[in-house]
Chains A and B, each alone.
Chain A
Amino acid sequence: MRYLIRRALWTIAALLGVSVVIFLLVRLLPGTIVDILAGGEGQLSPVQQAAVRHQFGLDRPLPVQYLFWLGSMLRGDLGWSFRSGQPVAPLLISRLPITIELAVLSIVGVSLVGIPLGILASVSRSTRVKTAVQIIGLLGLSVPNFWIAILLIITASYLFHWLPALIYVPPWAGPWVNLQQMFLPVLSLALGLVAVVVRMTRSSMLEVLGQEYVTVAQAKGVPAWGVLLRHALRNALIPIVTVLGLQMGYLLGGVVITEQIFGLPGLGWTLLNGVYQRDYPVVQGTVMFFAATFVVVNLAVDLTYTSLDPRIRYE
């Protein structure tokens, strides 16, 4: 319990650290909003420039700007978009369901397919099966998901005259249309990830299966599936869970490109447009959002270690 509290405090500290990093990174972005709003340098007189800078609080010292931003953020206010003038927080919340849907559909599909396939690949005595799974797995790992996305679009357009939809339909507006829209993006994200999980499950299982206690379990007559699931899988799960946690990062990154390619207006799409348009508040808010999600996932991963392996104790 004490560990939990301390871990939670550290998580908050980490997020504060992230917020400083993000704040500084965004402030260092080349080009200022003044240039962008004015359509290029030298369009505004120095007085007008100063007025614009004052309006957005850019004339204050950096620490003041940071504290101001942090304070607002804690009140759920992420500022206003430099571009559209919309408040950022509601904007991000409206974009969030798309990204969550993409990520959840992908990770669920990947776990359901990847872990069993990995276990299968670790027990099969047939070298052919083993090699085939290994090479297909590695191939999936090696193909960039944005290339898969491009190939899927080309194939779909040639075979079915299908093109990425111009307007996103949320699941509550049209569940069937929504699933159709999500199918190719999820597929392009999941294909590579399945390979990662299969590969990690296999190597992790093989490592555990080489341990003496597995031999002991086999020797005392534990059925093969019992050895696999009770003795081996439980210990093999630590690296698998770690990798799934790591893959959340890959997934959240992959979401950025996937949303861009398929024109899904989620968080990733919002981030990229923020970067292209140098819309500080949007970039800050989106990256903070990504970070918070990621930190919570990592905390969950850390906490599962103790329940998976009682030998690991946090003091």
Chain B
Amino acid sequence: MSGVGAAVAPAGRTPARGRDRLSRRVGRTPPAVIGGVLVGCVVLVAIAAPVLAGYDPAAQIATPLLRPSGGFLGGTDQLGRDEMSRIIFGARVSLYVGVLAVAVALALGGTTGVLAGFYGGWIDNVTMRVMDILFSLPALVLAIAITAVLGPSLTNVMLAIGIVYAPTFARIARGPTLAVVRLPYVEAARAIGASTPAILLRHILPNVSAPLLVQTTVSLSTAILTEAALSFLGLGTQPPTPSWGLMLSDARQYMLIDPWVAVLPGVAIAVTVLGFNLLGDGLRDVLDPRIRTM
């Protein structure tokens, strides 16, 4: 990819320099730093779950619906399982589903959108219409339909979310492509004999990559939210796997007896999603120089 870029333009142009400076510039953006720290914490918790959790997340070890105390930091759920241990293991589920789902969506949607915008004509029409068909169903409704069919499981939820969010990526990639593809500099690049892949990578992609990167980060958050929603509805992760959405679903029945069971899973979801959103916002500020100067 960078090889093609280097062949077209003189070395040392903005993308390469931008990559070098990206981490430092992100480091100077407080929201991105906070977001990065939050995401980093959740990732660490997910990796170190067996070490951090005090109890087996599936073991019924105490009186049901205990309030938080020294012994059980998050109290216990309706089956007497340690709430905090379930939250800690729940981080694994959320990240696993989120990352893989977004990877599916980005690969499917991003490619489609750029190619559709670039080639225009019937290719644009056909591909975007296929995307429209997927897009013609509200995300959660389509995800509900797909998981209902595939059967509720982690992998199926991930696939469903990936398929559901692909059209969003296609639209987001197509817009900027469409806006620049007829601009003089693209014509000029073609006139000096640049190949199609070179034009796509060197002249179109830079216009698309920033919105796509922001969308990827935002989608990580929405994917995690969707997993939680599907599990909340009983169509996602199945018991006894500790999923934050599933825990909230259980909590619904007991929340008026013990509001605590409804608090922790929501906090966990919100913190994780907030982390990705802050990171996305920070990245956006850093990646778009025009905004940075404001």
- A associates with B: yes
Q: Are A254 and B136 in contact (CB under 8 A)?
A: no
Q: Are B133 and A21 in contact (CB under 8 A)?
A: yes
Q: Are A287 and B145 in contact (CB under 8 A)?
A: yes
Q: Are B138 and A290 in contact (CB under 8 A)?
A: yes
Complexed CA–CA distance, A220 and B143 (Å): 52
- Complex: chain B residue closest to A17, CB-CB: B133
Q: Are B277 and A146 in contact (CB under 8 A)?
A: no
- Complex: chain B residue closest to A211, CB-CB: B290
* Chain A contact residue count (CB 8 A cutoff): 62
- Complex: chain A residue closest to B132, CB-CB: A14
Q: Are B129 and A10 in contact (CB under 8 A)?
A: yes
- Complex: chain A residue closest to B235, CB-CB: A275
Q: Are B133 and A138 in contact (CB under 8 A)?
A: no
Q: Are B288 and A207 in contact (CB under 8 A)?
A: yes
Shortest beta-carbon distance from B178 to chain A in Å: 8
- Residue B16 is within 8 A (CB to CB) of chain A in the complex: no
Complexed CA–CA distance, A295 and B142 (Å): 14
- Complex: chain B residue closest to A248, CB-CB: B138
Q: Are B248 and A150 in contact (CB under 8 A)?
A: yes
- Residue B68 is within 8 A (CB to CB) of chain A in the complex: no
Q: Are B266 and A294 in contact (CB under 8 A)?
A: no
The prevalent SS among residues of B at the interface is helix
Q: Among A23-31, A43-51, A171-179, which stretch is in contact with chain B? A: A23-31
Q: Are A13 and B140 in contact (CB under 8 A)?
A: no
- Residue A153 is within 8 A (CB to CB) of chain B in the complex: yes
- Residue A104 is within 8 A (CB to CB) of chain B in the complex: no
Complexed CA–CA distance, A254 and B228 (Å): 13
The residue among A134, A146, A211 with the most chain B CB atoms within 10 A of its own CB is A146
Q: Mark B270-294, 1 if CB is under 8 A from A, else 0.
A: 1101100110010010001011011
Q: Are B229 and A144 in contact (CB under 8 A)?
A: yes
Query: B140 — which chain A residues lie within 8 A by C-beta?
Result: 249-250, 252-254, 256-257
- Complex: chain B residue closest to A296, CB-CB: B136
Complexed CA–CA distance, A150 and B265 (Å): 12
Shortest beta-carbon distance from B123 to chain A in Å: 14
The residue among B229, B245, B288 with the most chain A CB atoms within 10 A of its own CB is B229
Complexed CA–CA distance, A217 and B232 (Å): 51
Shortest beta-carbon distance from B119 to chain A in Å: 14
Q: How large is the interface on B (under 10, 10 to 19, 20 to 34, 35 or more residues)?
A: 35 or more
Complexed CA–CA distance, A77 and B265 (Å): 43
Shortest beta-carbon distance from A268 to chain B in Å: 8
The residue among A26, A142, A146, A261 with the most chain B CB atoms within 10 A of its own CB is A142
Q: CB < 8 Å: which of B130, B136, B228, B262 contacts A294?
A: B136
- Residue A203 is within 8 A (CB to CB) of chain B in the complex: yes
Within 8 A of A (CB), among B19-73: 30-31
Q: Are A260 and B256 in contact (CB under 8 A)?
A: no
Q: Are B141 and A287 in contact (CB under 8 A)?
A: yes
Within 8 A of B (CB), among A216-266: 242, 246, 248-254, 256-257, 260-261
Query: A92 — which chain B residues lie within 8 A by C-beta?
Result: none
Q: Are B270 and A144 in contact (CB under 8 A)?
A: yes
Q: CB < 8 Å: which of A28, A146, A207, A210 contacts B232?
A: A146
Q: Are B255 and A153 in contact (CB under 8 A)?
A: yes
Q: Among B6-14, B107-115, B146-154, B196-204, which stretch is in contact with chain A? A: B146-154
Q: Are B151 and A30 in contact (CB under 8 A)?
A: yes
Q: Are A291 and B136 in contact (CB under 8 A)?
A: yes
Given known A-B contacts A203-B284, A261-B252, A290-B138, A210 and B225 have beta carbons under 8 A apart: no
Q: Mark A144-155, 1 if CB is under 8 A from B, else 0.
A: 101100110110
Q: Are B291 and A207 in contact (CB under 8 A)?
A: yes
Shortest beta-carbon distance from A10 to chain B in Å: 6
- Residue A271 is within 8 A (CB to CB) of chain B in the complex: yes
Closest 7 pairs (CB-CB, A-B): A253-B140, A210-B290, A147-B266, A17-B133, A252-B138, A142-B274, A142-B273
